Amino acid sequence: MRVNHIIMVLIITAWPLYYLYELQLGAVSFLLLAIFFLYISLKELKIVREQIKKNEEKPKKEKIK
């Protein structure tokens, strides 16, 4: 995810999460944020794995005698 998208999602969800915090349900907002950041990290991990896989698929250069 782009950094701009992450910031926009956090800004948009800030008010509802604060509302939960006011109702003594801060653990719910913490859980939702933890799930959101887990989702972001899994997407980034998938991208990194694909890049590593692409690097391994490149043919090795052969020496010509």
- Structural domain boundaries in the chain: 3-57
Exposure of 6 in the CB half-sphere (CA atoms within 13 A): 12
Given this model, what pLDDT does residue 1 score?
A: 66
Q: With a cut of 70, which residues of the chain have pLDDT below it?
A: 1, 58-60, 65
Residue 58 φ/ψ, nearest 5 degrees? -65, 130
Distance CA 65, CA 60 (A): 16
User: What is the predicted pLDDT for the residue at 44?
Assistant: 92
CA 53 to chain centre: 20
pLDDT at res. 58: 66
Residue 42: predicted pLDDT? 94
